[in-house]
Amino acid sequence: MEQRFNLYGNPVAASFVKRMTMASKVIDDSPLDKATYELVKLRASQINGCGFCTDMHSKDAAAAGESAVRLNLVAAWHEATVFTDAERAALALTEEATRVADGGKVSDDTWEQVRKHYDDDQIAALIAAVAMINAWNRLNAIARTPAGSYVPGQFH
């Protein structure tokens, strides 16, 4: 795949990306479990078909100690037994919120599960995480940022 646009080579795009990165720091510094955050970013990226983000978040999660089994099963989390109930709630929220544009919605059952497993600060971070990764996915999918060469932590 050939990259359409270099988001870091244009001053307007680079400035926007820098501000998105700074906004993401709020989530990084939140009480949301880091493994859950990576799973959320990976699942939304898979749904949105963002190869660059899928590459990045699978590698970052592995570098942070996430198992290959869990990473390989994120796309099939509904059938997998390797995720906690809290992680399953976060993944359900991620899927439903990511698919809102397809005419979906966040169900009351999913919201109930999220409320059961997370406090208000963690929920705020989850909502922000889903919104932020969806924005990143769209930027990179539109620009056709190629996947495969990401090195864990290269943007930190």
Residue 21 domain-assigned?
Answer: no
pTM (two decimals): 0.95
pLDDT tens, residue by residue, 117-147:
999 999 999 999 999 999 999 999 999 999 9
* Residue range of the domain that includes 46: 31-143
User: Is residue 1's pLDDT more than 90?
Assistant: no
- 137 and 50 in contact (C-beta within 8 Å)? yes
- Judge whether 71 lies within some domain: yes
Number of domain units in the chain: 1
The CATH number of whichever domain residue 113 belongs to comes to 1.20.1290.10
Tens of pLDDT, residues 39-86? 999 999 999 999 999 999 999 999 999 999 999 999 999 999 999 999
7: in domain: no
pLDDT in the model for residue 103: 87
Integer distance in angstroms from the first to the last C-alpha of the chain?
Answer: 26
Closest by Cα among 56, 88, 52, 53 to 70: 88
| Residues 2, 24, 45: CA angle, nearest 5 degrees | 40
